[in-house]
Structure 1
């Protein structure tokens, strides 16, 4: 079977082909991208509501930076649209073609996939903080020193090329259709948009125990020493609790947002590429080739001289 035939097999087996043909004959988008297209006006509306609430507080929002955040997000969506179909989907199609099981779509399997997708997101997100090659793309999301809904849109246009999406491929190999995986992933990101805010305090303790909330995610965006690299969850926070990466937001330690080596630039290119520049500059320093290449997978703070 050819790659194109595998692609068609995945597409038709999803059960969404007829609906897709009816809704978007004029767009070269998959279901995941369609979710982002539909959700973006909602994101803009919610941000405008938030902006009217906090516009007089420059610590929490800056109109020019917020516009830049949405432009960064547009760049991310553009490269996903142009390249996901030729870079990531063939890999998912190949894995699904050799799947171990034929998993039907029903309420039970949909719920299971939702949880498993979030489990994969936890490890992808954790790796994006602890592997410098992945951090080079993810750092853009963390480089703002403000926390508001526009911060959620602050994404890196190079993400599709970094290969972090490979962590989801085992789900296709198990037998989950890649279209369903993409839908779960997209809906997870939609959920995560709404936890990028300072307007929502702590929620009911049971909600805070199970789900990722604005309080938990404020910790994740902090550069305070006690908060750095914590709370990696997407929809759920239980995986952080299970794997020892959970930290609660504390009243005695206000969150300081941003990264430990700030980059102040209005350039979209600089915001996307500054960590790649620094990483390759570190690799270019004299030393054994085996030590130089470690900068790709060592944590962002790793230095060959032993300093952090």
Structure 2
């Protein structure tokens, strides 16, 4: 069976073809993307509720920045809607065609997939902080110096081209339907929206031990040396505890949000592309090809010894990273 035949089979069996016909003859809107579209008005409503509470505190919210955050999120959703079906779905279809198992959908497998999706998110998120190619897209989410619900919408329109979705392809190869994977991923991001706030303090210790919470995620967005590169979890925080990347929020160490070398710009393209520009500029500097290519996969702060230069803006993690993430 050819790739297009496999794509068509998964497309028809999953119900995406019917959804396509109902929604639009030209827009590749699958269940995952539909969840984002439906959730967005709720995101706006929750942010407005939060805004009314903190609007007089410029440290926590800035109206113009919040509008810009939602515009950045709209750009992200637009490229996902237009290109996900063309770029990522064929890869998932190919992996699912060669799946190892036929996994039915029931309560147990749904819970298992939910946990495994978060496991994949953990490694995708951790990689997004420590591999510069992925950081180039993720930096947009961390570049705000405020923490509120609009910060969750601060996403990069290049995400679909950046390849972070490849971290979830093994789930299709194992035998999980790509549609289920997409739904779990989307619901995870919906959950993560609600942990971008300063209005919620620490929750019950049992909840704080298992789940990612506003307290844990505030740490993740910090550029304090003690907080950088920690708390990568999406829904659960247990993977951070298992792999040594967990740090608790401290009362004696207020979180400083943002990145260590900020880029202040109102331009959406600058917010999306500045780290790509810096990365390719570094790669263009003279030197052995192998050393130049290392800028793609080395950490954001890495520099070649022979051409050491002051770090480009926003290169270093701090909020070295999410959501949403």
Q: Normalising TM by the smaller chain, what interval?
A: over 0.9
* SS state at 1:226 partner: coil
1:175 correspondence with 2:175: yes
Which blocks of at least 5 consecutive residues in structure 2 are unaligned? Answer: 312-325
Query: Secondary structure of 2:305's partner?
Result: coil
1:234-249 alignment, distance < 5 Å:
234-249=234-249
- CA displacement at 1:24 relative to structure 2: 3.3
Matches within 5 A, 1:213-224: 213-224=213-224
Correspondence for 2:112: 112
Q: Distance in 1 between matches of 2:280 and 2:8?
A: 40
Structure 1 residue 7: Cα displacement: 1.7
Q: Which residue of structure 2 aligns with residue 184 of structure 1?
A: 184
Match of 1:24 in 2: 23
CA 1:209–1:97: 2 relative to 1, 3 Å = same
Map 1:74-85 onto structure 2 (within 5 A): 74-85=74-85
The residue matched to 1:228 in structure 2 has which SS?
coil
Number of positions where the alignment pairs a residue of Structure 1 with one of Structure 2: 307
State the match for 1:95 in structure 2.
Answer: 95
Contact 2:72–2:153 at 8 Å: present in 1 too?
Answer: yes
Structure 1 pair 4/255, CA: closer, same or farther in 2 (3 Å)? same
> Which segments of 5 or more consecutive residues in structure 1 lack a partner in the other structure?
none
Secondary structure class of the residue paired with 1:290: helix
TM-score, length basis structure 2:
0.91
In 2 relative to 1, CA 147–55 (structure 1 residues): closer, same or farther, beyond 3 Å? same
Distance across 2 between alignment mates of 1:298 and 1:17: 38
Cα distance in 2 between the residues matched to 1:284 and 1:4: 38
Structure 2 residue 27 is matched with structure 1 residue 35: no
- Of residues 22-31 and 197-206 in structure 1, the stretch that sits farther from structure 2 once superposed is 22-31
Structure 2 Cα separation of the partners of residues 202 and 19 of structure 1 = 44
RMSD of equivalent CA atoms? 1.5
Question: C-alpha distance in 2, partners of 1:19/1:40?
Answer: 23
Please state how far the C-alpha of 1:2 moved relative to its aligned partner.
2.5
| Structure 1 residue matching 2:172: 3-state secondary structure | helix
Report if aligned partners of 2:220, 2:229 keep a CA contact under 8 Å in 1: yes
